[in-house]
Each structure stands twice: as C-alpha cells, then as structure tokens.
Amino acid sequence: MIYVNCLNVSEIDEAGYEKLYAKVSDERKQRAERYRSPEDARRCVLAEVLLRFSLKEACGYSEQIVTQYHEHGKPFIKNPENFAYNISHSGEWVLVAYTYDASGTVKDAKVGVDVEKIREFTNCEKLTIRFFAEEEQEYIFSVKNDAEKAARFTEIWTLKESYLKYLGCGLSQSLESFAVDAASGQIRDVSGNLVADVRARSFALGEEYYFSVCSDDDEITTRVIPVEAL
C-alpha cells in the first residue's frame, strides 16, 4: 500500500509555523535558510514536519530524522529501513508518499511523487513540444480549450516527474527518454518497450493542482492532513 499525505500549508498561521519549525532537524533548518524565497523555505521546513508525522503514523517512529542520500541525491532514512518515501511540494501543498511494512519486505521498495500547480498553457506549450513524446502531445493537443490543455500538461508533467523520482536518477535520465499513458499509467521507453511492474497514476488536488505517484504497488490511499494533527 502507498500512502500519500497532503498538507495545505496556507492553513498554517505564523504562530503555528514557529511551533512546527522548532520540531525539525538542524539540517532541515540549514537547508531552508539557503532558499531565497520565504515561501520555499517554509515548504522545505513543513516537508520534514509532514515526514515526521508520516513516520509516526506508519511505525510509531518519533526519533530525530537523519537523512542520507543515494548516488543521484534521492533522500532516504536509514532507520527504519523498511520505510520508503518521497516528498514533493508546490504552491499551497506539501506531499509525502510512503510505504511501510513491519516485516521488512519493503526494504528495497521505491516510490516517487510530484505535485504541480496548473499554469497558463502559453507557458507550457514549448515544454510540451520539446520534452513530451508524440502520444503525450496528442493527449494534450486533442482538446481545444487552453485551460484543459494546461490541466493535461500538468497531469503528464507530474506523471513523468514521479517516474524520475521513483527511479531516483536525478537528471541522468531525461523527460523525453520515456512516455507515460495518462489513462493506464503505463510507461514505455523510447523504443516503445513497456517498463514492467511500474505504474504512474495522477490525481487532481483541488481545482488548481495535480499530483502523481509512481510505484510498483497498485493500492494508493490519499488524504489531506489537518494542521491540528501535526
């Protein structure tokens, strides 16, 4: 089972944020300080808050988080080893997708998640042509309304990003090196070969956002976490 916890950061006032800020690791605070935008710094901090909530929810783990990184920069937590997760944030939302099994059978499990706000399609058209496969472009351009094109662009973009984040390969694999079918979630390489046992699925989040989850698990549970639960 993949769980996706979603936090609307716009619902957290300054006093509430200060209380949550005090809970995060020094590493996270230092990382947040490197952001030029206060909004980005805020999302960075709240991402660890939501991760800590998810860890406690999954396995009762409430110790200080020590983050380590794979070769291409994908973060992971060494203990507990059977907790696999990925984080994404955009605009008002921070998301943590995770899977956990007390038996340890998900030690090598992977998950990727990406959330994006829908933008004006005039800002996305060139990206569509440059980075998307022919079938992905057809899916977007098959509708006439620019608002619907923008929504479909965001859907495809998050599907593709979630797959790259699932792989944990950073920029070593390009967006144009594979294609995702929005309806089935199936992924094919440039030769048209199906990537077995992996699917990416997209979901609307309110009226202005899409998020996608990529994993080898077909069961996905999503929920919005109330601020008071943190």
Q: What is the pLDDT of residues 49-72, one digit of tens each?
A: 999 999 999 888 777 777 777 766
In this prediction, residues 78-87 reach a mean pLDDT of: 82
Do 161 and 103 reside in the same domain of the chain? no
Do 39 and 87 reside in the same domain of the chain? yes
Do 82 and 148 reside in the same domain of the chain? no
How far does CA 207 lie from the centroid of its chain?
18
Neighbouring C-alpha atoms within 13 Å toward the C-beta of 169 = 13
Per-residue pLDDT at 77:
77
Do 137 and 34 reside in the same domain of the chain? no
How far does CA 154 lie from the centroid of its chain?
13
Do 24 and 136 reside in the same domain of the chain? no
Report the percentage of the chain scoring pLDDT > 70.
Answer: 94
Rg (CA), the chain: 18
Do 132 and 210 reside in the same domain of the chain? yes
Per-residue pLDDT at 122:
87
In this prediction, residues 20-34 reach a mean pLDDT of: 92
What tokens appear for 63 in the block? 């110790």
* Residue 106, pLDDT above cutoff 60: no
Do 145 and 43 reside in the same domain of the chain? no
pTM of the model: 0.91
Per-residue pLDDT at 107:
53
Query: Residue 202: which of 152, 166, 167 has the closest Cα?
Result: 152
Q: What's the pLDDT tens digit per position in 155-214?
A: 999 999 999 999 987 667 888 899 999 999 999 998 899 998 999 999 999 999 999 999
Per-residue pLDDT at 105:
59
* Residue 227, pLDDT above cutoff 60: yes
Mean pLDDT rounded to a whole number for the chain: 90
Per-residue pLDDT at 3:
97
Total domains in the fold of the chain: 2
For residue 170, the domain's CATH number is: 3.90.470.20
The full DSSP string for the chain is -EEEEEEEGGG--HHHHHHHHTTS-HHHHHHHHT-SSHHHHHHHHHHHHHHHHHHHHHH---SPP-EEE-TTS-EEESSSTTEEEEEEEETTEEEEEEEE-TTSTTTT---EEEEEE---GGGTHHHHHHHS-HHHHHHHHTS--HHHHHHHHHHHHHHHHHHHHHHT-GGGS-GGGEEE-TTT--EEETT--B-TT-EEEEEEETTTEEEEEEES---EEEEEPPGGG-
Do 187 and 223 reside in the same domain of the chain? no
Do 198 and 105 reside in the same domain of the chain? no
**Full residue range of the structural domain in which residue 149 is found:** 115-215
Do 18 and 129 reside in the same domain of the chain? no
Do 208 and 220 reside in the same domain of the chain? no
Per-residue pLDDT at 168:
87
Per-residue pLDDT at 149:
96
Do 23 and 102 reside in the same domain of the chain? yes
In this prediction, residues 26-48 reach a mean pLDDT of: 93
